[in-house]
């Protein structure tokens, strides 16, 4: 089934695409809706499957939480040094 992007004046036609994940090698479908979203935002096609992207997001989130904790510990040590 083909779907036309209404926001594009050239009426670009999207079709589901089978892509391979750069990290795990697993094949995944790049859906019509996702293609439209990527097109509108001027993003390139995804290189990683949804599962690997979720793992990357989780890792990034954990690193950010670690940084926040490090800052808080440092602030606490500074505050304790005044007492």
Task: Read off φ and ψ for residue 14, nearest 5 degrees.
Answer: -105, 145
How much is the pLDDT for 31? 97
Q: Quick check: 36 pLDDT over 70?
A: yes
- Measured CA to CA, the distance from residue 63 to residue 56 in angstroms comes to 11
- What's the domain range around 48? 3-81
In this structure, the chain runs to a length of 83
Mean of all residue pLDDT scores within the chain? 89
Binned at pLDDT 50, 70 and 90, residue 74 comes out as confident
- Measured CA to CA, the distance from residue 60 to residue 27 in angstroms comes to 24
Binned at pLDDT 50, 70 and 90, residue 37 comes out as very high
Q: What one-character-per-residue DSSP string does 33-79 give? A: HHHHHHHHTTPPPPSS-HHHHHHHHHHHHHHHHHHHHHHHHHHHHHH
Q: How many domains does the chain have?
A: 1
How much is the pLDDT for 6? 55
pLDDT single digits (tens) 47-62: 999 999 999 999 999 9
């Amino acid at each position: 089934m083909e779907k036309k992007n209404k926001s594009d004046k050239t009426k670009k036609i999207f079709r589901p695409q089978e892509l391979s994940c750069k990290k795990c090698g697993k094949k995944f479908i790049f859906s019509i809706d996702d293609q439209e979203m990527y097109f509108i935002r001027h993003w390139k096609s995804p290189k990683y499957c949804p599962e690997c992207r979720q793992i990357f997001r989780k890792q990034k989130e954990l690193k950010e939480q670690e940084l926040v904790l490090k800052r808080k510990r440092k602030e606490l040590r500074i505050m304790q040094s005044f007492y």
